Amino acid sequence: MAKVYDSKPAADGFHMPGEHEPHAEIWIAWPERSDNWRDGAKPAQRSFVAVARAIAEVTPVTMAVSAAQYDNARSRLPDSVRVVEMSTNDSWMRDIGPTFVTNGQGERRGIQWDFNAWGGLVDGLYFPWDKDDEVAGKLCEILRDDSYKAGIILEGGAIHTDGDGTLFTSEECLLHPSRNPNMSKEEIEQALKDNLGVEKVLWLPEGLYNDETNGHIDNLMHVVKPGEVILSWTEDRQDPQYEISQRAFDFLSSATDARGRSLKIYKVHIPGPLYITEQEAAGVDMSDGMEREAGQRLAGSYANFLITNGRIVMPMLDPKWDDQAREVLQDAFPGHEIVGVAAREILLGGGNVHCITQQVPAV
């Protein structure tokens, strides 16, 4: 079986590569929760299939599926996508899967974070979350990758790295009382350095407006490559997002990364604002933790895309802004192919393309 190390990845010479570096495969988890995904998750399943299809043309995809949904998923997905039976509570692979680290000598290991459904008993989105918390270990076992247990609560969507010593996160999320209330900011930062092999942590104040993950960084911004980032933006001063984006821009503009570089910032306008319709809300079962009510603002963002092996898979969310978002991404990634996927159904569940995927770096 795959070994679980007691040491720290950085001390063993490992670091988290940037998402722009080569991938061996991408993992996704199949949606089926009827209190999160409307109409028995059928519309969401179509969107997940579209995302998997777009990725599978350049990177192998594995879909984790419950026993009950296995045949359904297998019949809907292209033959090139591997389907693996695995129990989950929901389908946010970015947050429940392992974060992978490599050492430059052809070795890769996974990090198993503790998962508490974005807030545990304080403000978590569902209970229980025990199956989700086991996914990272199971995934490493399937890949035969050794791993570490970090011992802190963290989701993959809460961190972005440039693969060159710099990590981006938000104070709103990592310092939230529902994550690691017994740790100081300094202790959390040290844990990030120890586990991810980074030298500098850039703490943005907060995440995207009304993001139920307590402000995941991957909904507000994305790393293009070392020294370059994409930031969610709006010119509407009446929008609560305006102040958030402005503070983030001011912070990033004055920051330097681990190598002393100033950051080039690409602004991508947010879609909408987008809101849940009455018809959409009516298709969702009642839930204790997740609010899926008509009129609720969705945390829509074009920064929630995936980079994989020369392709950008971006969410299409609003005809008014989709083309402009594509132009910004093409400008930032001149050597990449930009592929858009209709993603409102994913957004209705609380996230987007980046949130439902987790990359396994190539070694």
Question: Is the dihedral angle over the CA atoms 138, 139, 143, 149 positive or is it negative?
Answer: negative
**pLDDT tens digit sequence for 242-271:** 999 999 999 999 999 999 999 999 999 999
Kindly tell me if the per-residue pLDDT of 92 is higher than 80: yes
355 is catalytic: yes
Judged on CB neighbours under 10 Å (0-12, 13-18, 19+), 200 is middle
pLDDT of residue 293: 85
User: What pLDDT was estimated at residue 287?
Assistant: 77
Q: Which of 232, 169, 179 is nearest to 202 (CA)?
A: 169
CB 225 within 8 A of CB 264: no
In the predicted model, is pLDDT for residue 306 greater than 80? yes
The pLDDT, as a whole number, for residue 286 is 82
Residue 98 is given by DSSP the state P
φ, ψ for residue 257, nearest 5 deg: -90, -170
Task: Read off the pLDDT of each residue in 346-360 and give the average, rounded to a whole number.
Answer: 97
Whether the predicted pLDDT of 343 surpasses 90: yes
**CATH numbers and ranges of domains, the chain:** 13-361 (3.75.10.10)
Average pLDDT over residues 228-243: 98
pLDDT in tens, 78-90: 999 999 999 999 9
Residue 48: per-residue pLDDT: 98
pTM here is 0.97
- Please write the tens of the pLDDT for every residue from 263-295: 999 999 999 999 999 999 999 888 777 778 889
Catalytic option among 101, 136, 313, 355: 355
| H-type alpha helices, the chain | 42-56, 70-76, 93-96, 120-123, 130-143, 171-174, 185-196, 240-254, 278-282, 322-332, 344-348
Q: Residue 291 has what pLDDT?
A: 77
pLDDT of residue 110: 98
What's the confidence (pLDDT) of residue 21? 98
pLDDT at 26 over 90: yes
Taking residues 95-114, what's their average pLDDT? Answer: 97
How high is the pLDDT of residue 9? 98
State the Cα–Cα distance between residues 331 and 327, nearest whole angstrom: 6
